[in-house]
């Protein structure tokens, strides 16, 4: 494993993941485990920037791990761990915070977005969490980070911090590169196709959850926004709803845009939406069944967390000790 390039991914357990998360990233994770040294973090420390129900948060932590396993991630070939069980994350975050500028953090678009949505709780963690995100990535000498196009700003900050630290103290951190999936990288909302599908959307008809009931999936696709043109043709600017459905079907069936257009040429929107819904149900039903099995065995999930915290900690402690030595701490 030491000779392989390393991939790092962290996801907050702040709610069930969507079809967009699956097609944009998670579906590709099992394909990476043979070629890369992969770490997948359940980033529970990040969730505290917004007030959480403790019992619900605990359940969501287990749910995210179960979902990863149900989607095909092998706990022997990957490191699937819980962020708070590796103290080096918080420790490195403090050090890196001393090498991050206020202006850099104030420009982060997600800080502005969350501040507007949670105006009664604009806390220091909300402002500084990109530093913790940088620590997450840099702790593991990461080569690649799978990200959506809207997450590039956070990775750029991590790169800037790494470069700044390396210039001051010599070669310490690898400078990570983005790994962006080409197909299915950005699945849009079903009702508002000009914005990304999101699990935090207030309108439940805008997204499909990976563990969603098949009947609900079909109803949501049948309600999906299209247009009055009547032609199943890809045109993001003028036909965002239809284009989004073409993207989804193509990603589910591994077809190009042209192949999807050809397959549904001359058909009605209603038939097309039904076909997309059925393709989605076909893909997600076995994942849902395996997820429910795993959630019924919390002892098994706890065992994976415990074992992988040790594995992740071995990587993290090595980097942290190097950083502590470089800044002048007594080890």
Shared domain check, 104 and 47: yes
Shared domain check, 117 and 170: yes
Shared domain check, 277 and 245: yes
Is 239 in the active site? no
Shared domain check, 175 and 104: yes
How confident is the model at residue 183, as a pLDDT? Answer: 47
Question: Which residue range forms the structural domain that includes residue 254?
Answer: 204-292
How confident is the model at residue 1, as a pLDDT? Answer: 45
Alpha carbons within 13 A on the beta-carbon side of 39: 32
- Which DSSP letter does residue 205 get? G
Digit-by-digit pLDDT tens for the chain (331 residues) are 458 899 999 999 987 889 998 998 888 888 888 889 999 999 999 999 888 999 999 999 999 999 999 999 999 999 999 999 999 999 999 999 999 999 899 888 777 666 667 677 788 888 899 999 999 999 999 999 987 666 788 899 999 999 999 999 999 999 999 986 554 457 999 999 999 998 888 899 999 999 999 999 999 999 999 999 899 999 999 999 999 999 999 999 999 999 999 999 999 999 999 999 999 999 999 999 999 999 999 999 999 999 999 999 999 999 999 999 999 999 9
Tell me whether residue 30 is in a domain: yes
Q: For the chain, how many structural domains are there in total? A: 2
Strands 6-11 and 177-179: unpaired
* Residue 100, token pair as written in the block: 């991050």
Q: Are 92 and 320 in contact (CB under 8 A)?
A: yes
How confident is the model at residue 179, as a pLDDT? Answer: 84
Tell me whether residue 188 is in a domain: no
Nearest alpha carbon to residue 9 among 254, 17, 227: 17
Q: Which of 114, 174, 220, 273 is catalytic?
A: 114
Shared domain check, 213 and 155: no
Tell me whether residue 197 is in a domain: no
Q: Which of 174, 196, 220, 239 is catalytic?
A: 196
Is 306 in the active site? no
Report the predicted TM-score, pTM, of the whole model to 2 decimal places.
0.88
Shared domain check, 282 and 231: yes
Shared domain check, 224 and 103: no
Is 326 in the active site? no
Domain of 152, CATH number, reads 3.40.50.620
Q: Which of 5, 186, 199, 253 is catalytic?
A: 199
What beta strand segments (E) does 18-69 contain?
37-42
Shared domain check, 273 and 303: no
Shared domain check, 84 and 105: yes
């Amino acid at each position: 494993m030491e000779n392989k390039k390393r991939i790092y991914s962290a996801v907050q357990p702040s709610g069930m993941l969507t079809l967009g998360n699956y097609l944009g990233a998670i579906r590709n994770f099992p394909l990476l485990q043979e070629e890369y040294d992969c770490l997948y973090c359940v980033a529970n420390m990040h969730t505290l920037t917004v007030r959480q129900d403790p019992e619900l948060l605990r359940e969501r932590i287990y749910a995210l791990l179960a979902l990863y396993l149900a989607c095909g991630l092998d706990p022997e070939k990957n490191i699937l761990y819980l962020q708070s069980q590796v103290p080096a994350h918080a420790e490195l975050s403090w050090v890196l915070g001393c090498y991050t500028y206020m202006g850099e953090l104030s420009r982060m678009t997600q800080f502005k977005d969350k501040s507007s949505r949670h105006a009664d709780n604009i806390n220091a963690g909300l402002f500084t969490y990109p530093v913790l995100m940088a620590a997450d990535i840099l702790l593991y000498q990461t080569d690649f980070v799978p990200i959506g196009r809207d997450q590039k700003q956070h990775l750029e900050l991590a790169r800037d911090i790494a470069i700044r630290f390396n210039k001051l103290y010599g070669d310490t951190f690898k400078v990570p590169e983005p790994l962006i999936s080409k197909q299915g990288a950005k699945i849009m909302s079903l009702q508002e196709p000009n914005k990304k599908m999101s699990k935090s959307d207030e309108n439940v008809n805008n997204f499909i959850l990976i563990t969603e009931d098949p009947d609900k999936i079909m109803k949501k696709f049948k309600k999906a926004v299209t247009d009055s043109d009547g032609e199943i043709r890809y045109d993001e600017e003028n036909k965002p709803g239809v284009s989004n459905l073409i993207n989804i079907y193509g990603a589910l069936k591994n077809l190009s845009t042209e192949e999807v257009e050809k397959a549904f040429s001359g058909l009605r929107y209603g038939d097309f939406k039904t076909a997309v819904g059925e393709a989605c149900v076909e893909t997600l039903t076995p994942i849902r069944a395996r997820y429910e099995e795993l959630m019924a065995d919390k002892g098994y999930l706890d065992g994976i967390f415990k074992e992988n915290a040790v594995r992740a900690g071995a990587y993290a402690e090595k980097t942290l000790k190097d950083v502590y030595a470089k800044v002048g701490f007594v080890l």
